[in-house]
Amino acid sequence: MMSPRWESLREALKKRLSPQAYATWVAQMSLVDDDGSTLKLGLPDSFSLNWINDHYRDVLEEELGPLHRLELILHRPENPTEAVTARPGPAMSSPAAPAEEPLPIPLPAEASNGHVPAPHFRPEPPDEPPISPHRLNQRYTFASFVVGPANELAWSACQSLVDNRSPTFNPLVIVGSVGLGKTHLLHGIGHSLLKKRPNIKLLIKTSEEFVTEVIQGIRAQRMDELRRTYRACDVLLIDDIQFISGKEACQEEFFHTFNALYDSQKQIVVSSDRLPHEITDIQERVRSRFQWGLIADLKLPELETRTAILKKKAEAESIPLPDDVALYIAQSVRTNIRELEGCLVRVHAYASLTKQTLTLTLAREVLKSLVQDRGRALTCEIIVKTVSSVFDVKVADLKSTKRARNIALPRQVAMYLCRKHTTASYPEIGQALGGKDHTTALNAFQRISERLADPEVKSRVDEIERQLLE
């Protein structure tokens, strides 16, 4: 089918978006129908569909103009090369699997009024088998993973991977600093895949295990055997891939294994504590393989997610956890979920050993040294300074009564962040910003909470939080 509208929309997007965004998202879209008033476009999987809806729908509608309606549906084109031109490398030339489901698959009713429902992935019911032949950690399932804004991308990429038979993103690279859930997600993928396809050949390794096996293989001259094992799997998951840095033979081996699996459309997932371009001592060709696929990063979860994680964990371990204690722990530990859980375990252990009920006072007492030692406690002063540098306005202006927009917004952001990241009260926050009234601080908090829906405001706030929590 031909549609000039679709052609010109594509042209406009090509100009408007970065080449990478275009190649990753737009090139996946295929024309399903154009009846003159509604342009119907298809995406090959639900992950891409949700992503486009969340991130590019506005742009698409703007470029399309107010006279036309846009409908996005799940649709795998019959002629795959038409749509899947985004992926470089061997996958491009190898024929993609034919469509498995009847096409097209319209979404539920809401889709027809121009709005596809927001991504909503239901976690799996927690009935994992008691022992796992793949040495999967039984606690690390999708069901026990708490999803929030900071890990949503990585989470939905993992879901999409489990849902699709042939790889959509290959490799999937999960990036995040220590304790943010990389291993958990990797094992979650393992559990869910095995549940869905019990005969799937799944290989999950830490990169230390991989390195050891390669070294032993070389020594014992058993590399052929090792290669066969690795290359026979359907899904290869390697945790903490950054450890192959500086290990030439292992990189060599990984490179060839990667290519073999990739060529036969087998899924590869790796995790890393840093972005591929930040891994030192790694062959350029290995690094470039990581850039072929989707890099999904885990950011620092915000307070709400941290609290939810604590509650979920407490529930799983039958620890009675009052809300104020959960909040206190979540406020005290910001950068590492493992430490967050550690604090919970610690206060619980203390309470049960001393036969006391777990209260806020007790938790403060037990965690006092820990929380202070870190010296990371944020103050309003630090927040105001960081806001001033990110927005490039003077601290004095933030504390002044000037009402110009370019000062009022950062001021409100500062108040919002003080409330979110310190225990300061509204009057104290008002004080910290040059003696404002407590209602000003309260209004600022509410106003910014709402304005986070605006991507521009949100990206500034994210950037400040990133700097604050570093």
Binding site residues, ligand ADP, CB under 6 A: 140, 144-146, 151, 176, 178-184, 309, 337-338, 341
Q: Which residue has the tokens 């469509």?
A: 99
Q: Smallest gap, in angstroms, from Cβ of residue 138 to ligand ADP?
A: 11
* Runs of H (alpha helix) within 333-437: 337-353, 360-373, 380-391, 395-399, 405-421, 426-432
AA identity, residue 238: I
CA distance linking residue 121 with residue 157, whole number of Å: 11
Q: Smallest gap, in angstroms, from Cβ of residue 182 to Mg ion?
A: 5
Query: Considering beta carbons, is residue 140 or 230 the nearer one to ligand ADP?
Result: 140
Q: Smallest gap, in angstroms, from Cβ of residue 208 to Mg ion?
A: 11
Nearest to 242 by CA among 212, 272, 214: 272
Q: Smallest gap, in angstroms, from Cβ of residue 183 to Mg ion?
A: 3
Asked if 43 and 29 touch (Cβ cutoff 8 Å), the reply is yes
Query: Which residues of the shown chain bind Mg ion in the complex (CB under 5 A)?
Result: 182-183
Between the alpha carbon of residue 308 and those of residues 65, 105, 223, 302, 442, the distances in Å are 41, 34, 46, 10, 24
Query: Considering beta carbons, is residue 154 or 441 the nearer one to ligand ADP?
Result: 154
Query: Considering beta carbons, is residue 146 or 429 the nearer one to ligand ADP?
Result: 146
The values of phi and psi at residue 136, to 5°, are -85, 140
Query: Considering beta carbons, is residue 80 or 301 the nearer one to ligand ADP?
Result: 301
412 binds, among Mg ion, ligand ADP, none (CB under 5 to 8 A by kind): none
Q: Smallest gap, in angstroms, from Cβ of residue 391 to ligand ADP?
A: 30
Residue 11: count of CB within 10 angstroms of its CB: 11
Query: Considering beta carbons, is residue 116 or 185 the nearer one to Mg ion?
Result: 185
Asked if 176 and 108 touch (Cβ cutoff 8 Å), the reply is no
337 binds, among ligand ADP, Mg ion, none (CB under 5 to 8 A by kind): ligand ADP
Omega within 30 of 0 (cis) for the link into 171? yes
Sheet holding 294-298, edge to edge: 202-206, 235-239, 267-272, 172-176, 294-298
Query: Considering beta carbons, is residue 46 or 141 the nearer one to ligand ADP?
Result: 141
Q: Smallest gap, in angstroms, from Cβ of residue 207 to ligand ADP?
A: 12
The values of phi and psi at residue 123, to 5°, are -70, 160
Sheet holding 38-43, edge to edge: 30-34, 38-43, 69-74
306 binds, among Mg ion, ligand ADP, none (CB under 5 to 8 A by kind): none
75 binds, among ligand ADP, Mg ion, none (CB under 5 to 8 A by kind): none
Q: Smallest gap, in angstroms, from Cβ of residue 316 to Mg ion?
A: 19
Strands 202-206 and 235-239: parallel
444 binds, among ligand ADP, Mg ion, none (CB under 5 to 8 A by kind): none
Q: Smallest gap, in angstroms, from Cβ of residue 460 to ligand ADP?
A: 24
Omega within 30 of 0 (cis) for the link into 104? yes
25 binds, among Mg ion, ligand ADP, none (CB under 5 to 8 A by kind): none
181 binds, among Mg ion, ligand ADP, none (CB under 5 to 8 A by kind): ligand ADP
178 binds, among ligand ADP, Mg ion, none (CB under 5 to 8 A by kind): ligand ADP
Query: Considering beta carbons, is residue 57 or 274 the nearer one to ligand ADP?
Result: 274
Query: Considering beta carbons, is residue 338 or 368 the nearer one to Mg ion?
Result: 338
